[in-house]
């Protein structure tokens, strides 16, 4: 599933895979994917970076 992949990426970057963060990232990726019909790894990484930053800044 998408959530498993995201958890794996977060783990690879030593980011705490907080459930809320994973859910936020998954929702954003799903939304973009549905809108555009596809999503690139670059976009996924960008979303993960952005959401993680927002999450860490409270």
Instruction: Give the 3-state secondary structure of 1-58.
Output: CHHHHHHHHHHHCCCCCCHHHHHHHHHHHHHHHHHHCCCCHHHHHHHHHHHHHHHHCC
d(CA 57, CA 49): 12
What is the domain count for the chain?
1
Q: DSSP per residue over 25-37, as a string?
A: HHHHHHHHHHHHS
- For residue 28, the enclosing domain spans 2-56
Per-residue DSSP letter, 10? H
pLDDT in tens, 20-55: 999 999 999 999 999 999 999 999 999 999 999 999
**Tokens for 19?**
């459930």
Report pTM.
0.84
């Amino acid at each position: 599933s998408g959530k498993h992949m995201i958890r794996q990426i977060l783990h690879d970057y030593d980011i705490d895979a907080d459930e809320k963060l994973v859910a936020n990232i998954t929702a954003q990726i799903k939304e973009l994917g549905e809108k555009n019909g596809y999503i690139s790894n670059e976009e996924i990484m960008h979303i993960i970076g952005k959401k993680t930053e927002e999450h860490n800044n409270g």
